């Protein structure tokens, strides 16, 4: 049974024909205690079937600690979209609903190794010289969330110090509670800075850079 | 369940050309419909959308008054179909905001938020409205921590909790009904003694036992610690104030037009809505406006669609005239 409709597959095959470098979809799942792991696996299988350039790798979150450490993932299901290198793109929880579009766009970007962030943003992001973790909390029914996820992921692609996580808030209630997430998209940078809403790119970059001024 | 609803974005992040016959600003029902008409007239059409294709109706759980869907349809399903239709006739859709419009002879220039300059013969402003803030103490502090403007996005965080909805119009009552899927108890705080929402929505809401109505009242402060815990409510008739415990505050008290970016070029009324002719023309030839963004009385999907069709056809006539004059 497939999840994607034929016309969507057709569209995606065509999009993926523009891929440059190979893209690896690396998925950490666990048998027990994971509502959406098998769904996400099925989704990744289908995506990879649409292009020879898209490869999938599956790891067991509990059983393959070495891999878990390599990719520094701290919960499951965790998806990493890797191009010529690991750009720091993470999806925690299933990227379903509106978030599926983010996965497609990320695949296109990592394959090229570039993004369409403005030249001004790219220059400003060069100021980042130590690790920054951006967490973007979302729900699958939030139409404004993909924009925030994509901006964070583009920043991760542009700057090697940045890791950017999509976190599906309802799948990780404890973490969402810790950050008092009650509206999405909510963006948390290094535990220091937080903001709500799909801000325009320049303001999003302001938010990320302001985390560098802390401590 | 989640997998049945995958969104596959077909939107481009930048325009493929530098010049168009028609640039449409805003991808809601008005803009998408205008695009269907201009593209079918074989005008080269670019549509710019800065947030989410579909416009504000994408967050409506169900639309029951748009003709053709006797069982109702979700706002996002409705506008995905409109989007597909617009695209099928050749409308190019880009995910970028319009920053300003300028006039240079017969050219209408649209400057984008990513510093691109797009030359067009005509422009349709279909930028819609956005929700207004309540402007009370605590609103800003607790935005994202219990204060929300999107029931569809944030409803799930209030499962088995208590929430209040502020407002009495269609959006407030429609979303109050939607939120009862999650919350244990819901209170609607409205500043008058009756609702403005459609009668049929009112009847539905009055029939839901967990909805309580607090009439003639306004919220004067939102309080809490890490997240919202209570609101202060003032009764306008008696002047008395009380504190009500709540976990969430959903604010739907009205809207304001997204016209800041065009205020120096087209004429607005005192509330900021664009003044147009019945053919959707503004005071500037070649610049048209359609949908919720313009001065009118009924702001609905069906009227936005009507405006879009009128504007699309008006653009076609405008460009034909422009070209006859040139010849
Ligand atoms: C929760 C809710 C429920 C509703 N329920 C109903 C209902 O049941 N029935 C009904 O008929 N109506 C309903 N409405 C009203 C309906 O959504 C609007 O009347 C309709 O969407 C108006 O369409 P529009 O195209 O004029 O504007 P919008 O839908 O507001 O679209 C305007 C678009 O322009 C974009 N934009 C703004 N500025 C720029 C810029 N500078 N550059 C690029 N893009 C820009 C915005 O992001 C937006 O997407 C509801 C509204 C809400 C919020």
Ligand 1 touching residue B83 (CB < 6 A): no
Mean pLDDT of A176-191: 94
Do A171 and A36 contact (CB within 8 A), yes or no? yes
The boundaries of the domain holding residue A55 are 6-214
Q: Which bin fits A85, alpha (ψ -120 to 50), beta or left (φ > 0)?
A: beta
Distance CA A40, CA B139 (A): 37
Shortest Cα–Cα distance, A118 to chain B (Å): 6
Q: What pLDDT is recorded for position B1?
A: 37
Q: Which CATH number is correct for B139-251, 3.40.50.720, 3.50.50.60, 3.30.390.50, 3.30.70.3280?
A: 3.50.50.60
CA A37 to chain centre: 16
d(CA B86, CA B24): 12
Contact between chains at B144 and A141 (C-beta distance less than 8 A): no
Pairing of strands A186-189, A132-138: antiparallel
Structure tokens at B134: 């309540």
Classify residue A200: in a domain, yes or no.
Answer: yes
State what percent of residues in chain A have pLDDT above 90: 78
The pLDDT assigned to B312 comes to 98
The Cα–Cα gap between B132 and B60 comes to 17
**Domain assignment present for A100:** yes
The predicted pLDDT at position B10 comes to 63
- State how many domains chain A has: 1
**pLDDT string in tens for chain B (327-residue length):** 356 677 776 666 677 778 999 999 999 999 999 999 999 999 999 999 998 999 999 989 899 999 999 999 999 999 999 999 999 999 999 988 999 999 999 999 999 988 899 999 999 999 999 999 999 999 999 998 999 999 988 999 999 999 999 999 999 999 999 999 999 999 999 999 999 999 999 999 999 999 999 999 999 999 999 999 999 999 999 999 999 999 999 999 999 999 999 999 999 999 999 999 999 999 999 999 999 999 999 999 999 999 999 999 999 999 999 988 877
Sign of the CA dihedral with A75 first, then A81, A87, and A91 last: negative
The pLDDT-based confidence of A213 (bands split at 50, 70, 90) is confident
The CATH number for A127's domain is: 3.40.30.80
Do domains B3-130+255-326 and B139-251 share one topology? The answer is yes
Residue A1: pLDDT over 80: no
Q: Is the ipTM of this complex over 0.95?
A: no
- Measured between alpha carbons, how far apart are the two ends of chain A, in Å? 52
Q: Reduced to 3 states, what is the DSSP secondary structure of residue A78?
A: strand
CA distances from B244 to B164, B195, B225, B299, B303 (A): 10, 21, 15, 33, 39
The model's confidence at residue A3, banded by pLDDT at 50, 70 and 90, is confident
Size of chain A in residues: 215
Question: Cα separation of A78 and A92, whole Å?
Answer: 5
Nearest CA in chain A to B95: A147
Distance in Å, CA B38 to ligand 1 centroid = 20
Those residues whose C-beta lies under 8 Å from the C-beta of residue B93, and which sit 6 or more positions away, are: B10, B11, B12, B27, B46, B47, B49, B53, B83, B86, B87
Residue among B325, B316, B313, B291 nearest B121 (CA): B316
CATH of B3-130+255-326, one of 3.40.50.150, 3.50.50.60, 3.40.50.1000, 3.30.2290.10: 3.50.50.60
What pLDDT is recorded for position B12?
Answer: 66
Among residues 141-180 of chain A, which lie with CB inside 8 Å of chain B? Answer: 141-147, 169-170, 176, 180
Residue A1 lies in a domain: no
pLDDT classification of A198: cutoffs 50, 70, 90? confident
**Gap between the Cα atoms of A138 and A190, Å rounded:** 17
Contact A184 B248 (CB under 8 A): no
Query: Does A114 fall in a domain?
Result: yes
CA pair distance A59, A38, nearest whole angstrom: 13
Residues in chain B: 327
Q: Is B94 in the pocket of ligand 1 (CB under 6 A)?
A: no
Q: Which residues contact A64 (CB under 8 A, 6 or more apart)?
A: A28
Start-to-end CA distance of chain B, whole Å, equals: 58
pLDDT in the model for residue B41: 97
pLDDT of residue B113: 86
**Would you tell me how many other CB atoms lie within 10 Å of the CB of residue A144?**
18
pLDDT per residue as tens digits for the range A93-140: 999 988 999 999 999 999 999 998 888 899 999 999 999 999 999 998
Distance CA A200, CA A144 (A): 11
Q: Which residue has the higher pLDDT, A55 or B115?
A: A55
Residues of B in contact with A120 (CB under 8 A): 115
CB contact under 8 A, B154 and A183: yes
Q: How far apart are CA B44 and CA B23, in angstroms?
A: 9
Sequence spans of domains, chain B? 3-130+255-326, 139-251
Whether residue A162 contacts residue A155, with contact meaning beta carbons closer than 8 Å, is answered with yes
Nearest by CB to A182, from B54, B114, B145: name it: B145
């Amino acid at each position: 049974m497939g999840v994607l409709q034929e016309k969507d597959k057709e569209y995606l095959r065509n999009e993926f024909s523009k891929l440059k470098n190979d893209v690896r979809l690396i998925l950490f799942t666990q048998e027990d205690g994971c509502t959406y792991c098998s769904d996400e696996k099925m989704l990744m299988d289908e995506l990879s079937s649409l292009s020879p350039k898209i490869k999938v790798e599956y790891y067991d979150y509990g059983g393959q600690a070495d891999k878990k450490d390599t990719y520094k993932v701290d919960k499951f299901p965790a998806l990493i979209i890797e191009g010529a290198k690991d750009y720091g793109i993470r999806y925690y929880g299933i990227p379903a609903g509106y978030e599926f579009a983010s996965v497609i766009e990320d695949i296109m970007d990592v394959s090229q190794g570039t993004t369409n962030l403005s030249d001004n943003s790219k220059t400003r992001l060069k100021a980042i010289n130590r690790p920054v973790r951006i967490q973007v909390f979302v729900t699958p029914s939030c139409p404004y969330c993909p924009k925030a996820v994509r901006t964070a992921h583009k920043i991760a692609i542009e700057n090697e110090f940045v890791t950017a996580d999509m976190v599906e808030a309802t799948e990780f209630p404890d973490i969402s509670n810790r950050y008092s997430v009650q509206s999405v998209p909510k963006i948390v940078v290094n535990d220091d800075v937080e903001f709500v809403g799909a801000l325009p790119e320049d303001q999003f970059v302001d938010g990320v850079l302001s985390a560098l001024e802390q401590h | 369940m989640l997998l049945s609803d995958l969104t596959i974005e077909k939107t481009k992040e930048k325009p493929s050309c530098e010049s168009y016959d028609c640039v449409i600003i805003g991808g809601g029902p008005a803009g998408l419909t205008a695009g269907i008409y201009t593209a079918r007239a074989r005008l080269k059409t670019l549509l710019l959308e800065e947030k989410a294709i579909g416009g504000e109706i994408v967050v409506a759980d169900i639309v029951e008054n748009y003709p053709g869907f006797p069982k109702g349809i979700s706002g996002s399903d409705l506008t995905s179909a409109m989007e597909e239709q617009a695209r099928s006739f050749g409308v190019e859709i880009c995910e970028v905001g319009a920053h300003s419009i300028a006039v240079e002879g017969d050219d209408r220039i649209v400057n984008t938020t990513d510093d691109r300059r797009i030359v067009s013969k005509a422009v349709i402003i279909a930028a819609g409205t956005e929700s207004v803030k309540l402007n009370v103490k605590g609103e800003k502090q607790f935005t994202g921590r219990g204060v929300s403007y999107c029931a569809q996005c944030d409803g799930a965080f209030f499962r088995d909790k208590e929430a209040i909805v502020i407002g009495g119009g269609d959006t407030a009552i429609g979303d109050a009904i939607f939120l009862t899927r999650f919350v244990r108890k819901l209170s609607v705080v409205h500043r008058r003694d009756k609702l403005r929402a459609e009668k049929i929505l009112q009847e539905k809401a009055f029939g839901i036992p967990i909805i309580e109505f607090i009439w003639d009242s306004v919220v004067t402060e939102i309080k809490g610690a890490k997240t919202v815990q209570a609101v202060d409510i003032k009764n306008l008739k008696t002047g008395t104030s009380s504190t009500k415990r709540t976990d969430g505050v959903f604010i739907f008290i009205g809207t304001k037009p997204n016209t800041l970016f065009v205020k120096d070029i087209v004429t607005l009324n005192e509330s900021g809505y664009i003044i147009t002719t019945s053919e959707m023309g503004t005071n500037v030839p070649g610049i048209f406006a359609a949908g919720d963004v313009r001065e009118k009385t009924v702001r609905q999907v069906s009227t936005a669609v009507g405006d879009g069709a009128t504007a699309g056809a008006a653009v076609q006539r405008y460009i034909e005239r422009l070209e006859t004059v040139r010849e």
